[in-house]
Amino acid sequence: MEEKQSFIDSIIRGFPVPIILLAEPIGRQDGTLEIIDGMQRMNAITSFIGNEFAVDGGYFDLNTFATTKDLLDRNVIEQKTPILQRERCLAVASYPVPLSIYEAAHGESVEEVFRRINSGGRKLSRQELRAAGATDAFAECVRQISARVRGDTSNSDLLPLSEMSKISITNRDLDYGISADGVFWVANGILTKEQLRQSRDEELVADLVAYMISDEPVASRTELFDDYYGASFPMTSSSKARFDAIDQAIRKRSPELVDFDYQRVQDALALLLGQAKTTFSGLIFPSGNGGNPVPRYFQAVFLALHDLIVKKSMVVSNSAGLIARLTDCGRNIDIQDGGRWGAENRSKTVDSVVGWIQGFFEEDKNPDPAKVHWVTKFQNLLTNSLTEQAAYDFKQGFYTLKQSPTFDEGSFDKIMETCAAIANIGKGHKGYVLVGVAENAQTAARVQEIFGIKPLSFGGFYVTGVDHEAKYANKTLDHMFQDITNRVGRSALSEPLKSYVNSHLKCVQYYDKTIFVFEILGQNQPSHWNGKWPERQGNQVNDVPPERLGALFERFK
- pLDDT digit of tens for each residue in the chain (557 aa)? 788 889 999 999 988 888 887 877 776 666 677 777 777 888 889 889 989 899 999 999 999 988 888 888 888 888 999 999 999 999 998 888 888 776 655 655 656 665 565 554 445 677 776 776 576 889 889 998 998 898 876 555 555 555 555 555 665 555 555 678 888 999 999 999 888 888 899 999 999 999 999 989 999 888 888 888 887 777 788 888 888 899 888 888 888 889 989 999 999 999 999 999 999 999 999 988 777 778 999 999 999 999 999 999 899 999 999 999 999 999 899 888 777 889 999 999 999 999 999 999 998 876 655 445 678 788 888 888 877 788 899 999 999 999 999 999 999 999 999 999 999 998 998 999 999 999 889 999 999 999 999 999 988 899 999 999 999 999 999 899 999 999 999 999 999 999 999 999 988 888 889 999 999 999 999 999 999 999 998 788 999 999 989 989 988 88
Give the pLDDT confidence score for residue 290 in this predicted structure.
73
> pLDDT value at position 172?
53
In this structure, the dihedral spanned by the alpha carbons of residues 123, 126, 132 and 136, taken in order and rounded to 10 degrees, is: 180
**Contact at 8 Å (CB) between 190 and 269?**
no
pLDDT at residue 458 in the model: 87
Q: From CA 383, how far away is CA 376, in angstroms rounded?
A: 11
Which pLDDT belongs to residue 122? 41
Query: How many CB atoms are closer than 10 A to CB 26?
Result: 11
Q: Whole-angstrom distance between the N-terminal and C-terminal Cα of the chain?
A: 45
- The letter for the amino acid at 519 is E
Q: Residue-wise over 288-297: b if at least 16 C-beta within 10 A, else e? A: ebeeebbbbb
Query: Which strands sit side by side in the sheet containing 34-37, from one edge to the other?
Result: 34-37, 20-25, 99-105
Model pLDDT, residue 161: 56
Per-residue confidence (pLDDT) for residue 3, from 0 to 100: 81
pLDDT at 100: 77
pTM score: 0.64
In whole angstroms, what is the distance from residue 398 CA to residue 451 CA? 13
502 CB contacts (<8 Å, ≥6 apart)? 485, 488, 489
Nearest of 487, 453, 444 to residue 472 by alpha carbon:
453
pLDDT of 20: 84
∠ Cα 458 508 321 (to 5°): 80
pLDDT for 238 equals 87
Residue 515: phi and psi, rounded to 5, are -120, 140
The H-or-E segment that residue 461 falls in is strand 461-463
User: In angstroms, what is the C-alpha Rg of the chain?
Assistant: 26
